[in-house]
Chain A
Amino acid sequence: MTALLVRGGRVIDPANGLDLPEADVLIADGVIQATGAGLPAGGARVLDAAGLIVAPGFVDLHTHLREPGYEYKETVETGTQAAARGGFTTVCAMPNTDPPADSRSVVDYVLRRAAEAGAVRVLPIGCVTKGRAGKLLAELGGLAEAGCAGFSDDGSPVGDAAIMRRALEYASAFGLPVIDHPEDPQLAGGVMHEGWVSTRLGLRGIPAASEENAIARDVALARQTGGHVHVAHISTAGGVELIRRAKAEGLRVTAEVTPHHLTLTHERVMRGPGHEGGAPLAYDTNAKMYPPLRAPEDVAACVDGLRDGTIDAIATDHAPHAVQEKLCEFDDAAFGIVGLETALPLALQTGLPLARVLEALTIGPVRALGLDRRLPGLGTLSAGAPGDVTVFDPAREWRVEAEALASKGKNTPFLGQTLRGQVIATVSGGEAVFELEKAGA
């Protein structure tokens, strides 16, 4: 395996409190060897990072790779290529595939596909219940042995509180979290945030209370069981406050937020960019996702929650869909948007300190799920850590073009927009898996 020297960048490693204005990172044998100024290149290939930022490879806790079953939407190959393009070197693959990842065999298959075709590391998430049906526990022990990093019925909540309780108790035997998709199915049932926009558009709303009620339940069950609940894609001010209080109480509750819930509001459904003024209402299906884009005060609360550590991680909820699943009536359109390739510029848009943004993309998610127990040093540039490095230019502007996205899914509300902040190179396990120059800028 060739050695790689990432030379002369501003090296930021939030886990180690490092921010070196001009330093090198040496990677060899797949692991970080050293970080510091003026490291000798030796025989290593040199990646020039002058004027760029060098950080640990990003970690996404919430990626839908769609394989097996929905290869027309995305595959392990294309999804991990999208990850590499977005600076992610580890992605947690959500189990709502077909068949769902509720057994060892499916998890083994995903890992085999990752080994064969994956550009970056894939950590599978196993189902909580058999068939994601919410009735009977999946074999969590077997899933843990197969390499699952946590359990989730994502796409659906674990609706039955008693099942959720038992799942938390049982999963604690393996030191793994249950990741809940916080939704009260009785309160939900809509297609966008319930508010003045849904009223104007005549669309069925999903009230904030749907998420808040589910999170309140999960917090109570974390208290009851001592188990670890990780709350997926938080979107409401009330939900953030519940997590804040749970953490103050010392409960094992962690949370993630998506880049789009940090940057867009429900008005985006009605008016896209270029839809200002007298243009017809957009009914933009690329602004349809679960949880829905919320009100401005919810967005502000999510940013505040990320700032003060209530929210541990930025996670993309990368949800690729085929064109025809979005080019249709709003009610009929699939929920979800692709997120891996736009996560960094959106995270930078929050205006949070750079170190905090990078923490939420690296060590934040690692600690949230305890991923470093199996992969020591993951999310850091410590010597001996996995050789995962992301090099980016925080000021470089680029236009989001469907053809340029590595993901099969082109379903993003940012199409055609110019974003600020671009990944220049991604190193995964010591290999340069993405270089903008080679890919064509």
Chain B
Amino acid sequence: MTAPRTTEPARVELGRRPDPALGTGPDRGWSRRHVLDLDDFTLDEIELVLDTADAMKEVLARDVPRAPALRGTTIVTLFYEASTRTRASFELAGKVLGADVINLTASGSSIEKGESLIDTARTLRAIGAQVLVMRHPLSGAPYLAAAHCDARVINAGDGWHAHPTQGLLDLYTLRRRLGGLAGKRVVIVGDIAHSRVARSGIWGLTKMGAEVVVCGPPTLLPAGLGAPHAADALPPVTVETDLDKAVCGADAVMALRLQQERMAGGLLPSLREYSRLYQVNEDRMRRAKPGAPVLHPGPMNEGIEISAAVAHGSRSLVEEQVQNGVAVRMALLYLMRGGK
């Protein structure tokens, strides 16, 4: 059991929901300029996002899902890496809120001509982008953009480091299903070492008071996890290399995508052995709490890290994660509105 690592509490009025349709709702003390990771979020900030996402779900359920709170705002999605759900849900989130959304990918832009990240970010700011939603294959890249251009930056995934909006939508999805996360045992299974989803998940889940268990072969567990070290390290988690033990009594299990290139470099002997030892399947899930849900950030390798039966069965929250992703990203964009 790990204690939530909150820093100083934000001055907020809990329990009041902003009304996005009016576009003027109180923001309970939101002062965050960028969203780079969940490591520096307070518990109150996380709950504010999740509460706001509830309101956004209502907007999305309307006959005409539009709440133009961000009319006149320009959002640029800048993707240096392929993405389906994250990019599409950011675009939709912006459009539902009435923002102008421009989508850029590395191929077909000046990035192909060797333009530096800083120059690209400054150029986009100069043409009027107020919010930069950025996906990059190298860890820390959004921090560089945030430090060198005055647009607001939302990290849509950087290298192995962080994926804060995925973290928030997972928290949102779990909170809806489990009622709350305090004291809940959440198991993250798979390639922890190379996973930005796992890192942001560890930050968010522990702040919400959940016990996090990470499970995978030792070659896919990064150095210094779970060991006592500096206060600045990732929060403490339980490390377990045996999945049968890890899922015992679990309230929820999150399977991670296995990149097929992990076989090179001696990290794994074979997909066959990986799926035998670490696949989240119905057999294993029987050891978890009854009805314990299964999450996956997608895209899934069905039959490898997750069985098709679990992926599409009653435990699966995968589709709900995707749906909630739009509401959570709407909430973030809404809370960050007004930034110049």
The 8 closest A-B pairs by CB, nearest first: A202-B161, A196-B224, A283-B140, A202-B160, A202-B139, A199-B222, A196-B233, A329-B138
Cβ of A327: which chain B residues have Cβ within 8 Å of it? 116, 118
Q: Bound state CA distance, A218 and B287, in angstroms?
A: 52
B230 is an interface residue with CB less than 8 A from chain A: yes
Residue B147 contacts which of A194, A199, A207, A280 (CB distance < 8 angstroms)?
Answer: A280
A201 is an interface residue with CB less than 8 A from chain B: yes
B159 is an interface residue with CB less than 8 A from chain A: yes
CB interface residues, A 186-211, toward B, < 8 Å: 194-203, 205, 207
CB interface residues, B 7-54, toward A, < 8 Å: 7, 34, 36-37, 39-40
Q: Name which residue of chain A comes closest to B227, CB basis.
A: A196
Q: Bound state CA distance, A201 and B141, in angstroms?
A: 11
Cβ B143 vs Cβ A281 within 8 A: yes
Per DSSP, chain A at the interface is loop
Cβ of B158: which chain A residues have Cβ within 8 Å of it? 202
Q: Name which residue of chain B comes closest to A328, CB basis.
A: B116
- State the Cβ distance, B158 to closest chain A Cβ, in Å: 7
Per DSSP, chain B at the interface is loop
Cβ B223 vs Cβ A194 within 8 A: yes
Cβ A328 vs Cβ B140 within 8 A: no
Cβ A195 vs Cβ B224 within 8 A: yes
A330 is an interface residue with CB less than 8 A from chain B: yes
A324 is an interface residue with CB less than 8 A from chain B: yes
Cβ A271 vs Cβ B232 within 8 A: yes
B146 is an interface residue with CB less than 8 A from chain A: yes
Q: Name which residue of chain B comes closest to A191, CB basis.
A: B139
Q: Bound state CA distance, A328 and B232, in angstroms?
A: 24
B144 is an interface residue with CB less than 8 A from chain A: yes
Cβ B140 vs Cβ A330 within 8 A: yes
Size band of the interface chain B makes with A: 35 or more
Q: Bound state CA distance, A194 and B160, in angstroms?
A: 14
Which residues of B come within 8 Å of A, CB atoms? 7, 34, 36-37, 39-40, 116-118, 136, 138-141, 143-144, 146-147, 158-162, 193, 196, 199, 222-225, 227, 229-230, 232-234
Pick the most buried of A196, A270, A324, A332: most chain B CB atoms within 10 A of its CB: A196
Cβ of A202: which chain B residues have Cβ within 8 Å of it? 139-140, 158-162, 196, 199
Cβ A329 vs Cβ B141 within 8 A: yes
Q: Bound state CA distance, A331 and B138, in angstroms?
A: 7
A267 is an interface residue with CB less than 8 A from chain B: yes
Q: Contacts A280-B143, A330-B138 given: A324-B116 contact, CB under 8 Å?
A: yes
Cβ of B141: which chain A residues have Cβ within 8 Å of it? 329
Cβ A278 vs Cβ B147 within 8 A: no
Cβ A281 vs Cβ B140 within 8 A: yes
Q: Bound state CA distance, A331 and B117, in angstroms?
A: 13
Pick the most buried of A194, A202, A331: most chain B CB atoms within 10 A of its CB: A202
Q: Name which residue of chain B comes closest to A203, CB basis.
A: B139
A-B contact pairs, 11 of them (CB 8 A): A195-B224, A199-B225, A202-B158, A202-B162, A203-B159, A280-B36, A280-B146, A280-B147, A327-B118, A330-B138, A330-B139
Cβ of A195: which chain B residues have Cβ within 8 Å of it? 223-224
Cβ A201 vs Cβ B225 within 8 A: no
Q: Bound state CA distance, A266 and B279, in angstroms?
A: 35
- State the Cβ distance, B92 to closest chain A Cβ, in Å: 27
Q: Bound state CA distance, A195 and B34, in angstroms?
A: 27
Q: Name which residue of chain A comes closest to B199, CB basis.
A: A202
Residue A199 contacts which of B162, B196, B224 (CB distance < 8 angstroms)?
Answer: B224
Cβ B144 vs Cβ A329 within 8 A: yes
Cβ of B136: which chain A residues have Cβ within 8 Å of it? 329
Q: Bound state CA distance, A267 and B233, in angstroms?
A: 10
Q: Bound state CA distance, A205 and B225, in angstroms?
A: 14
Q: Bound state CA distance, A201 and B34, in angstroms?
A: 17
- State the Cβ distance, A334 to closest chain B Cβ, in Å: 14
Cβ of B161: which chain A residues have Cβ within 8 Å of it? 201-203
CB interface residues, A 278-299, toward B, < 8 Å: 278, 280-283
Cβ of A332: which chain B residues have Cβ within 8 Å of it? 138
